[in-house]
Amino acid sequence: MSSAASPAKVELKNVKKRFGPKVVLDGLNLTIPSGQSLVVIGGSGTGKSVMIKCVLGILKPDAGEIFVDGEEVTKISGTARDHYLRKFGMLFQGAALFDSMKVWENVAFGLIQGRGVKKKQAREIAFDKLARVGLPADVGELFPSELSGGMQKRVGLARAIAADPEIIFFDEPTTGLDPIMSDVINDLIVATRQSGTTSLSITHDLASARKIADQIAMLYKGKIIWQGPTKDIDNSGNPYVDQFIHGRAEGPIKMEVKA
C-alpha cells in the first residue's frame, strides 16, 4: 500500500498537552493514512497514551488541531461527539474486561449500551466476533476470570471490532503475552487491517511492530522524531530510533534512573 496515494484518516497538527509544569506533547505532528496500520513506538511515559486520549476527546489538547476524515474534532461535544466516537474501536492495555459480565456480554456491551442494538442481535454479533478471533462458542458463556491472558486479549479484540469500527487503537496489544500468543494477536491485527480498517497501535514490542505496521513513528520528548515505512526502520539514519530498536542503554536517549 502506498501512503502517498491514501488520504489522511487521522491527522494531528502541532498538538500540545501539558500537566502543570510537565510538558507531555510538545507540538506533535502525525498522519495516519486511510486503511493503513501505523505503530507508534517510544519509551515509557513519553505520552503515547495521552496522544490517543487526545484523539478520543478524553483529554483536551492545550493547542493544535486533530482532524479525522478532514473534520477538526478537538471542540466537538454532545451528540456530535457520540457520533464521532462510533468511528473508533479500542483494545485497551490489559484488555479491561468487566469481571461481572460473561465474555459475550463484554463483547456485546458497546453494541447494546452505545448503539441500542437489541440484546438478541448483539449476542449473535458477539459470538460471530468471538469466532473471528478464534474463540469457540463455549468461551462466550464463561467469565473473564476463567480465561488466560491471551484469551482475554482476544476477547478485548473481539469487543474492539464488535461494531465494525473505521479506526482501531491497539494499546500495547501483545504486552504480557508469550511469543506465540503474541503472534496470534499480531495475525488478528493484520486481518483487521486487511478488511480496510485504519489502525494506530502503541507498543514496545518491536517484533509485533514489524509485523503489524505499514508505517512506524517514534515519539520522543513530545514530538514525532521519525516516521517511515516499516521496511526503513533499520536504516532510519536516526540515532534515537537506532538506540530504541536495538535496546541500547548508551546513546542520545538518556534514561532518568532515580535511586
Ligand X SMILES: Nc1ncnc2c1ncn2[C@@H]1O[C@H](COP(=O)(O)OP(=O)(O)OP(=O)(O)O)[C@@H](O)[C@H]1O
- Interaction of residue 152 with ligand X, rule CB under 6 A: no
Residues touching ligand X, count (CB under 6 A): 10
d(CA 253, CA 5) in angstroms, rounded, equals 34
Element (H, E) at 105: helix 103-115
Kindly identify the residues of this chain, within the stretch 17-36, that bind ligand X according to CB under 6 A: 19, 24
Could you say which of 2, 4, 21, 44 contacts ligand X (CB under 6 A)?
44
Kindly identify the residues of this chain, within the stretch 47-76, that bind ligand X according to CB under 6 A: 47-50
- Provide φ and ψ at 220, rounded to 5°: -150, 130
Closer to ligand X by CB, 25 or 189: give it.
25
Least Å from the CB of residue 209 to ligand X: 13
Closer to ligand X by CB, 42 or 89: give it.
42
Give the position of cell 493484520. 190
Region of 95 (left: φ > 0; alpha: ψ -120 to 50; beta: rest) is left
- Interaction of residue 45 with ligand X, rule CB under 6 A: yes
Which stretch, 38-46, 65-73, 101-109, 231-239, contacts ligand X (CB under 6 A)? 38-46
> Residue 117 to residues 108, 160, 236: CA-CA distances in angstroms?
9, 16, 47
Closer to ligand X by CB, 34 or 227: give it.
227
Q: Please report, as a single letter, which amino acid is at residue 20.
A: G
Q: Which of 227, 186, 224, 226 is nearest to 205 (CA)?
A: 186
Least Å from the CB of residue 156 to ligand X: 16
Residues lying near ligand X in the complex (CB under 6 A) are found at: 19, 24, 42, 44-50
